[in-house]
Amino acid sequence: MNKLKNIYFSRLPFRTKITYGLSLLLLFCGLSVGYFVTQISEKSILWEHYSRGKTLVKSFAYRTIEPLLARNYLQLQKVITELKKYPEFTYAYILDEHKNILIHSFDNGFPLKLLQINAALTNEISIITIKTNLGLVDDFGIKITLKGEDIGYIHLGLNRHGIAQILASQRRTAFFTTLGIIFLGIFLAHWFSQNITRRLETLKLSADEIIKGNLDVQAGPLFARNCWDIMHCKQKNCPAYKDTRRRCWHLVGTLCENCSQEGYPSKLSSCVKCKVYQQLSGDEVQDLAEVFDVMALSLKNYISEIRNQQKELKRQENLLRTIVNTTPDFITFQDIDLKYQMANKAFCDYFKTTERDVLGKTDFDIFSPEQADHNYHEDKQIFLTKKPLSKEIQVRKGKQERWFHVLKVPVFEGDKMVGLLLTARDITMLKKYQEQLLASQKMEHLGRLAGGVAHEINTPLSIILGYTQLLLEDVDNPQWREDLKTIEKQTKVCRKIVADLLRFSRQGPTEAKNVDLNASLKEVVSLIEHTFSLSHVTILTNFDSSLPPIKGDGEKLKQVWLNLLNNALDAIGENGYIFIRTKLCAHRRRIVVHFLDTGSGIPQENLDKIFDPFFTTKEVGKGTGLGLSVTFGIIRDHGGRIFAYSPPPVEYLPKEDKADDKEWATIFIIELPLKEEKLPDDLEPCQG
């Protein structure tokens, strides 16, 4: 029960609690004061009653001495009759020295029980209160002596009817007065509680607004005059100037002469004597409200700063994430337990996963057990040595092989190691360019060698061919003529090989004219298209109509196209596709020609040999091995470059509707400079 009362009381509004508390206190105090005042008043009236009774008894005794000695009963009766005029008179009787009744005021006989009450009288007045059917009666008795001799006893009975009426009136007056005071006190308590709780309610409403996120609250009072008005201040750079929501003693750095530069509440000691503080400061509730306003405004400023910082951090985070996800390099971060905490888009795309699936995982959840175990021990070694690791690795994925430059760096926060940052850059094209550079240097040396050999052989061949033709004119022997024709034929074959070697070594004549590459390609395609169709090989084309003409030897470029198309046909055999595409590179400094075929492809070990003179994979008698060498030399003579990839990298696969569903095996990429321009030193060919 008490618990329920406590719960009920605790749920009452604070204003009701104050009102109830003050009302109960006033009620208790009012009743207590009324009770004590009534008691004091009753005692005072009763004392007056006793004093009056004693006076009447003394007067009664004095007037009865002479008639008592004379036994003048008539005179005694007269004295008693005179006493009857007092409203409180109830009875009176006189006893002689032997306590015999001499005279009394009773009309219906003397009640003998009175003789037993207040019987032991002395010369001092004795008062005994008795209960009668008429109410309380005070019996005043005294012994009368004359010269030391007892002459009689008198008793005077005074009722309390008048006193009771006075006491009842006083009680009523005290009750209603107390009640009025209590009600006035309750009203004042209610007003006081309203005054207190109204400001507390303002504080509560302000707190509720803050909970909702609204920090523009005003719990403290607003004054008509503020510190700058009171002090007639014009210092606009003062932090308190025109700030109506905060008091100057709550602010640091105010510019008044007497203001301390310390913060609140230390500076209050210098503000106590200031007239601004004396006029505007209030009680504890006002102080609480004003401090609450300062807190809310400071909190708003802090939150605003935090939000601005969060926006800036978010912007920088988004920028960093955009940069990290835009770069083609792999970027990951693993914590000290080698769990992935970040993986960029390039990493996820390469391994065909998502960042959500990677985060919180280890290498054992992503890679093969062998690769994961290798990575684990490698990473642990980095943690032990606290030194970065740089290496190049070759990764085979399906038919493609790619090279990566991997850099693993331990990450520190202060002196504590917190994780491992990995970056991996695809250097496949760099590797290929290095291989092409080596091949180009090798071709340069081979070209010089081939040129020298061709010159040395060309003269004897011319002599042999000339003498053979002369002998053919003079010899009639059929057998000899047949042998001489064989010599003539093979000598011409040797001359063709020498011519190819000279073209490869760039020592043959080149006639530079304006060449329309699209027209040149279309002409070659139209010549061989029918022949290729007999083997069910379809040639697909996509020519860029915006190609400008270039300076070059049209006939030699046609030989390049023809060599590449014949090689593609040999690789396909029957039933396949060849795709030719021309394109003006985005930065408009080169023209790119792609030749793709669906043939058998080129083994990886032969890719760096295919441009070598006399290198061929064809059967004996079906090729000299000079076709691609000559092609390489012609392109080089035009200031261009040629690349070969098998299989083609994804970024070079055609996206045209008619060619995107084919299984392309090999791609040759030819880059030719625009007129009077050189190719930039790129590491990779322009993507299609």
Cβ-based neighbour number of residue 112 at 10 Å: 8
Among left, alpha and beta (phi > 0; psi -120 to 50; other), residue 96 is: beta
Answer whether residue 195 is part of any domain: no
Are the CB atoms for 561 and 543 separated by under 8 Å? Answer: no
Do 284 and 329 reside in the same domain of the chain? no
- pLDDT category at 410 given cuts 50, 70, 90 is very high
Spell out the alpha helix ranges (H) of 535-626: 554-572
Do 385 and 410 reside in the same domain of the chain? yes
Q: What is the pLDDT of residue 605?
A: 81
Are the CB atoms for 320 and 333 separated by under 8 Å? Answer: no
pLDDT beyond 50 at 507: no
SS3 308: helix
pLDDT beyond 80 at 293: no
Are the CB atoms for 625 and 659 separated by under 8 Å? Answer: no
Q: What share of the chain is helix, strand, coil (3-state, %, to 5)?
A: 50, 20, 30
pLDDT beyond 60 at 622: no
Q: What is the pLDDT of residue 430?
A: 80
Q: Among the three residues 142, 170, 198, which one is the final residue of a domain in this structure?
A: 170
pLDDT beyond 90 at 243: no
What CATH number should be reported for the domain holding residue 654?
3.30.565.10
Are the CB atoms for 667 and 654 separated by under 8 Å? Answer: no
Do 564 and 592 reside in the same domain of the chain? yes
Please tell me the distance from the alpha carbon of residue 114 to that of residue 125, in angstroms, as a whole number: 17
pLDDT in tens, 26-73: 777 877 887 788 888 888 888 888 888 888 888 888 888 888 888 888
Q: What is the DSSP letter of 113?
A: G
Answer whether residue 192 is part of any domain: no
Do 622 and 676 reside in the same domain of the chain? yes
Please tell me the distance from the alpha carbon of residue 35 to that of residue 43, in angstroms, as a whole number: 12
Answer whether residue 626 is part of any domain: yes
550-552 and 537-542 as β-strands: parallel, antiparallel, unpaired?
A: unpaired
Q: Which residue has the higher pLDDT, 545 or 485?
A: 545
Please tell me the distance from the alpha carbon of residue 269 to that of residue 592, in angstroms, as a whole number: 85
Q: What is the DSSP letter of 235?
A: -
Q: What is the dihedral of CA 10, 16, 19, 21, to 10 degrees?
A: -10
Please tell me the distance from the alpha carbon of residue 325 to that of residue 327, in angstroms, as a whole number: 6
pLDDT beyond 80 at 21: no
Do 225 and 151 reside in the same domain of the chain? no
Averaged pLDDT for residues 386-392: 90
Do 564 and 672 reside in the same domain of the chain? yes
Do 335 and 267 reside in the same domain of the chain? no
Residue in the structure block whose two tokens are 């690769």: 371
Answer whether residue 514 is part of any domain: yes
Structural domain boundaries enclosing 273: 215-305
Q: What is the DSSP letter of 574?
A: S
Answer whether residue 399 is part of any domain: yes
Q: Among the three residues 278, 305, 332, which one is the final residue of a domain in this structure?
A: 305
SS3 279: helix
Do 389 and 523 reside in the same domain of the chain? no
- pLDDT category at 508 given cuts 50, 70, 90 is very low
Q: What is the DSSP letter of 606?
A: G
Helix axis angle for 627-637 and 554-572, nearest 10°, is 150
Q: What is the pLDDT of residue 22?
A: 72
Do 22 and 119 reside in the same domain of the chain? yes
Query: What residue ranges in 291-415 does DSSP mark as E strands?
Result: 330-335, 340-343, 389-397, 400-413
pLDDT beyond 60 at 578: yes
Q: Note the pTM of the prediction, 2 decimals.
A: 0.42
pLDDT in tens, 82-121: 888 888 888 898 888 888 888 888 888 888 888 888 778 8
What CATH number should be reported for the domain holding residue 421?
3.30.450.20
* Closest C-alpha among 403, 429, 423, 501 to residue 461: 501
Q: What is the pLDDT of residue 625?
A: 62
Residue type, 282: G
End-to-end CA distance of the chain: 89
Q: Among the three residues 305, 339, 366, which one is the final residue of a domain in this structure?
A: 305
Please tell me the distance from the alpha carbon of residue 344 to that of residue 422, in angstroms, as a whole number: 11
Answer whether residue 2 is part of any domain: no
Q: What is the pLDDT of residue 2?
A: 54
Please tell me the distance from the alpha carbon of residue 300 to that of residue 294, in angstroms, as a whole number: 10
Q: Which residue has the higher pLDDT, 546 or 680?
A: 546
Residue type, 580: I
Averaged pLDDT for residues 226-243: 77
Do 678 and 533 reside in the same domain of the chain? yes
Please tell me the distance from the alpha carbon of residue 627 to that of residue 611, in angstroms, as a whole number: 8
Answer whether residue 497 is part of any domain: no
Please enumerate in sequence order all residues whose Cβ is within 8 A of that of 135, keeping only pairs 6 or more positions apart, or say none: 159, 160, 161, 164
Are the CB atoms for 219 and 49 separated by under 8 Å? Answer: no
Do 680 and 531 reside in the same domain of the chain? yes
Count up the domains in the chain and report the number.
4
416-426 and 400-413 as β-strands: parallel, antiparallel, unpaired?
A: antiparallel
SS3 readout for 36-50:
HHHHHHHHHHHHHHH
Averaged pLDDT for residues 158-180: 81
Averaged pLDDT for residues 519-536: 88
Whole-number average pLDDT of the chain: 80
pLDDT in tens, 455-471: 667 777 777 878 788 78
Please tell me the distance from the alpha carbon of residue 207 to that of residue 339, in angstroms, as a whole number: 44
Answer whether residue 163 is part of any domain: yes
Do 127 and 45 reside in the same domain of the chain? yes
